[in-house]
Amino acid sequence: MFDRLFRKKDISTMLEEASNTQGGLRRSLTVGHLVALGIGAIVGAGIFVITGQAAATYAGPALTISFLISAAGCILSAVCYAEFAAMIPVSGSVYSYSYATIGEFLAWFIGWDLILEYLFACSSVAVAWSGYMQNLLLGWGIELPHHLTLSTLDHTVDGWVLTGSIINFPAVFIVAVISAFLLGGIRQSAWINNIIVVIKVSVILLFIGFGLSHVDTGNWTPYIPENTGTYGSYGWSGILRGAAVVFFAFLGFDALSTAAQETRNPQKDMPRGILLSLIICAVLYVAVTAVLTGIVHYTELKTDAPIALAIDRAGTELAWLGPLIKLGAIAGLSSVILVMMLGQTRIYYAIAKDRLLPEMFAKIHPKRKVPHNATIFAGIVTGVIAGTLPLNVLSELVSIGTLLAFTIVCLSVVVLRKTQPALNRPFKAPLVPFLPLMGAAFCILQMASLPWNTWLRLIGWTVCGLIIYFAYSIRHSNKKN
């Protein structure tokens, strides 16, 4: 039994399976599609919410430095993802990489963790989308019934309580719409994502361009506010704390690797797509933060809609941009849901191909070339969770799952360089093992800063995964003794 837990999947076999286009996934994505998918996954609530709150609470105008530090930390993990995605261009992301490097049991563990990440990321962003959409509709004089606008349950200091709402209907609605797009095929989904990305990036560029003329450079003084005497409250410790907070604004690029098997030239395009999308988003974040803290003093930015506040402060000249900002936020959140749903379905597909989950999830639609059963299942489960659970519970689980995946990818690069040095690596992460170990350490430090309740929920999720593995997966695995 012990030996079976650490059996590995041969990389040459994985590549052979991936190259078989007959009845498999369709290779349709170019580097342009990948960059758009990356921007679609990364630019969401972070740029529209986190920027203001982190500036007000931790770093002040120096949040621009926090974003650069955070981006550097993400790039440490991204280059490791890029090496694997180019070397093993198959669906499944870290699950597939782990199966080839550290064995079946740990691959299942990380695959189960990825399901947690993408499932709850989709659900939490859908709930955030619901809030923005309701706000936009109110501006148009449309108010949805109360019993269709909140989650069924809420979690307070007294425990779980009923809210009186039947379901968060807008959250369920957007999940259903995105699922329908994904069922249409990867090419159609990428095309829709491209349109959404153009809308939200255009809105962000409009804010930067028109907002520059309303910047008061006095708001940038002092650029690094003096520490209040508490670690993390301004000063350099505040910049570092701010970097830890805005780290989560960059999450999403990892979902690109789940689409490696649907990329025309994954060996070249995957590394380019991952790294370019990260760099572009880092530039956008820094520029937005600079303009935002230039228009509004950082002490006033602790709000859920900091960019909207900046537009209000700019006066009537930018009033026309207010509705567009809300539209951009809705578009941004929509594309995040799309890419995270894409990642979730491809994880189900990859695990089911190895028969660690029921084979029905590995079935490919003969015409659209998408895992349709996995997509329908993901849509139903995500919709139920988004409609019934509150945002605070959902969002807690996303971060720890993502950071754990990043850690395993970084460590797996080091392991595989030692155990299989002769493998063809079209893209090689530099400074191994130093750079991957730095990336792993960065992620572990972030995980350590998360609340204990988050760790308890991760443990509960892991226990469920262990039960499924030993009750079903180990008995059905494709690998034989």
Check the CA dihedral 36-341-375-264 and report its sign.
Answer: positive
Q: Is the pLDDT of residue 377 over 80?
A: yes
Cβ 50 vs Cβ 268: under 8 Å? no
Rounded Cα distance, 136 and 142, in Å: 9
Query: By mean pLDDT, which of 81-85, 289-293, 436-440 is the weakest?
Result: 81-85
Show the CA angle centred on residue 375, arms to residues 38 and 29, nearest 5°.
35
Average pLDDT over residues 269-276: 86
* Number of CB atoms found within 10 A of residue 355's CB: 16
Q: Check residues 121 and 280 and name the one with the higher pLDDT.
A: 280
The residue that leads in pLDDT, 140 or 170, is 170
What is the rounded distance in angstroms from the CA atom of residue 185 to the CA atom of residue 342?
A: 10
Q: How high is the pLDDT of residue 434? A: 93
Rounded mean pLDDT, 140-162: 80
Q: How confident is the model at residue 248 (pLDDT cuts 50, 70, 90)?
A: low
Given a cut of 60, is residue 479 above it in pLDDT?
A: no
Mean pLDDT, residues 225-238 taken together:
87
Q: Is the pLDDT of residue 314 over 90?
A: no
CA distances from 480 to 26, 316, 474 (A): 29, 70, 10
- Residue 290 pLDDT more than 80? yes
- Predicted local distance difference test score (pLDDT) of residue 32: 84
pLDDT of residue 481: 42
The arithmetic mean of pLDDT across residues 188-202, rounded, is: 83
> Is the pLDDT reported for residue 111 higher than 60?
yes
Calculate the alpha carbon distances from 19 to 10, 51, 171, 356, 427 in Å. Answer: 15, 42, 37, 22, 19
**In whole angstroms, how large is the CA radius of gyration of the chain?**
22
What dihedral do alpha carbons 285, 287, 292, 294 form, nearest 10°? 150
Return the pLDDT at 196. 84
In order of 73, 234, 403, 446, the CA distances from 398 in angstroms are 18, 27, 9, 13
Listing DSSP states for 141-163 in one string gives T----GGGTS-SEEEETTEEEE-
Min mean pLDDT across 23-32, 80-89, 102-111, 181-190 is at 23-32
pLDDT at 262 over 80: no
Please give the pLDDT value at position 292. 93
Confidence of residue 2 (pLDDT cuts 50, 70, 90): low
* Residue 22 scores a pLDDT above 70: no
Q: What does the pLDDT read at residue 295?
A: 94
Q: What's the pLDDT score for residue 352?
A: 92
Mean of pLDDT over the chain: 83
- pTM attached to this predicted model: 0.79
The pLDDT confidence band at residue 82, using thresholds 50, 70 and 90, is confident
8 Å CB contact between 405 and 116: no
Domains of the chain: 2-476 (1.20.1740.10)
